[in-house]
Amino acid sequence: MSESVLDLRKDPMGWAIADYYNNGVAGRLRVFSSMFDEDEMSVKDLFRTFDKMPLLEQRALELCCGNILDVGAGSGCHSLALQEMGKDVCAIDISPRSVDVMQKRGVADVRFVNMYDKSLKGKFDTILMLMNGTGIVGRIDKFSEFFARINELLSEDGQVLIDSSDLIYLYENEDGSVDIDLNGSYYGEVDFMMQYKNMKGDTFDWLYVDFETLSYHADQNGFCSELIFEGEHYDYLARITRK
């Protein structure tokens, strides 16, 4: 598992976030993957305030308690909302430009670090991972490494609040049947590459996982999971705790 951070020259999302923060507008943040057609990510939406967040995220923020770790905090939208609620949060990200913006926006405790980097120490009561938080796991076969790291970072009675989507809808036929190659890799394993202006990031693995599969792997690694909220389009929020 890589424990590294992004190079300043390979941080398209971070540059888009910085442009939006500095100028109030950003260019197109383009997203390429082998699974989907070329897409664009709304940079403005990365700056969403509590009122503009989907209910799933609002619910997650309300459930956050104790000392909180916001993993992959991006523009700091969730960390800032948590601070406004009087909660105690540490924001981490591997994007140098995003970390810079979070500091400027007033996130009190921001660290430029990968969640797998052992220099990140501490026991957190809540580990928050939003906007397809399971993405950071990368692939199904990385779940044991993920849970081993969660085990290190989570306080005894701590909780992980994480969201994902079941991509099964991409394979459903009109009659409700599903075309999945059961011998192939898991259908939610996606690779992405982002581009902002002329800057391209490296390709990275990003996992979308259905709740049953998440629960299975949590169980295999000593954790249990609870379905907290279901969104409107195969998305959900889960709470993971120790068994």
Determine which residue in the list 83, 114, 126, 164 makes contact with ligand SAH, applying CB under 6 A. Answer: 114
* Distance of closest approach, residue 95 Cβ to ligand SAH, in angstroms: 4
Question: What are the structure tokens assigned to 161, written together?
Answer: 């609040």
240 contributes a contact to ligand SAH by CB under 6 A: no
- Residues between 6 and 25 that touch ligand SAH (CB under 6 A): 13
41 contributes a contact to ligand SAH by CB under 6 A: no
- Residues between 143 and 202 that touch ligand SAH (CB under 6 A): none
Determine which residue in the list 131, 140, 199, 228 makes contact with ligand SAH, applying CB under 6 A. Answer: 131
Say how far apart CA 177 and CA 74 lie, in whole Å: 37
**Count of beta carbons in the 10 Å neighbourhood of residue 119:** 8
115 contributes a contact to ligand SAH by CB under 6 A: yes
* Distance of closest approach, residue 243 Cβ to ligand SAH, in angstroms: 25
Determine which residue in the list 73, 82, 160, 237 makes contact with ligand SAH, applying CB under 6 A. Answer: 73
Stretch that binds ligand SAH, among 65-73, 100-108, 153-161, 223-231 (CB under 6 A): 65-73
Q: How does DSSP assign the chain, residue by residue?
A: -------GGG-HHHHHHHHHHHHS----EEEEESSS--EEE-TGGGG--GGGS-HHHHHHHHH--SEEEEET-TTSHHHHHHHHTT-EEEEEES-HHHHHHHHHHT-SSEEE--TT-TT----EEEEEETTTGGGGG-SGGGHHHHHHHHHHHEEEEEEEEEEEE-GGGGGB-TTS-B---TTSS-TTEEEEEEEETTEEPPPEEEE---HHHHHHHHHHTTEEEEEEEE-SSSEEEEEEEE-
User: Residue 116 or residue 196: which is nearer to ligand SAH going by CB?
Assistant: 116
83 contributes a contact to ligand SAH by CB under 6 A: no
Stretch that binds ligand SAH, among 66-74, 145-153, 207-215, 218-226 (CB under 6 A): 66-74
Determine which residue in the list 46, 81, 137, 190 makes contact with ligand SAH, applying CB under 6 A. Answer: 46
The residues binding ligand SAH (CB under 6 A) are: 13, 46, 71-74, 77, 92-95, 98, 114-116, 130-131, 136
